[in-house]
Amino acid sequence: MSARDDILARIHAANTGIAAPPVPRDYRRTGTHAPGDAELLELFTDRLVDYKATVVPCTPATLAATLADICRDWTVVVPAGSASSVPGAVVDDGLSYAQLDALDAVLTGCAAACAETGTIALDAGPDQGRRAVTLIPDRHICVVRADQVVHTVPELLARLDPTRPLTFISGPSATSDIELHRVEGVHGPRTLIVVLVTLSGGLRRRA
């Protein structure tokens, strides 16, 4: 028996017959706004701007032109199953890390988003691709539909499948671990641009 097997066996023996304690569920599980509510989108935008992200609103009719304008000077990679694209985009068909690093930006969708924390969740769906695609390029353009934005974290988690590879994004990658000096781009893209798609428009670009 290896040391690993020995440790796991001891843990298993120690837990045999012991029921897991009940998990408290008396926290707030629903918000006060329905998904996609105008006030919710304002809150979501405020949070993203606080995190130094840029929010570009558009409607379904102007989405393609908005993306083309944002990406006009960049070479962009898109997941193979993405419904959104821009002229000259490179489709990720298994690009190497070096090839991804040579590209200017990645364009994806998302699985869901939480307004209260300004968090965007990716679950490696067809329009999001593998994790490396959203971590290596230095810019991430993420399309978020209004109906994907919920109020609270419990509502966000309820929309996600815990068996999928989940990535939670709250602004550009950054850390203040060393002497509280903020350094961006440590674990992922230094620039996050959120394209927020609403049926009515009416929001303004913020950064």
pLDDT of residue 202: 64
3-state SS assignment for residue 93:
coil
3-state SS assignment for residue 50:
helix
pLDDT of residue 188: 86
pLDDT of residue 93: 93
Kindly state the tokens that stand for 148.
């994907």
pLDDT of residue 181: 78
In whole angstroms, give the CA distance from residue 181 to residue 8: 40
Q: What is the mean pLDDT of residues 162-184?
A: 83
Does the pLDDT of residue 95 top 80, yes or no? yes
Kindly state the tokens that stand for 182.
């903020």
Which residue do the tokens 């918000």 mark? 31
What b/e readout covers 23-39, taking b as 16+ CB neighbours within 10 angstroms? eeeeeeeebebebbbee
pLDDT band at 156 (very low <50, low <70, confident <90, very high): very high
What average pLDDT is seen over the chain? 91
pLDDT of residue 91: 96
Q: Is the dihedral angle over the CA atoms 68, 70, 73, 75 positive or is it negative?
A: negative
pLDDT of residue 79: 96
In whole angstroms, give the CA distance from residue 81 to residue 104: 20
Taking the CA atoms of residue 173, residue 176, residue 177 and residue 179 in that order, the dihedral angle to the nearest 10 degrees is 160
Kindly state the tokens that stand for 162.
């815990």
**Residues 96-132: pLDDT tens digits?**
999 999 999 999 999 999 999 999 999 999 999 999 9
Is residue 167 exposed (0-12), middle (13-18) or buried (19+ Cβ within 10 Å)? middle
String of DSSP letters for 76-145: EEEETT-S---TTPEEESS--HHHHHTSSEEEE--SEEETTTTEEEE---TTT--HHHHHSSSEEEEEEE
pTM above 0.75, yes or no: yes
**Residues 11-29: pLDDT tens digits?**
999 988 888 888 888 888 8
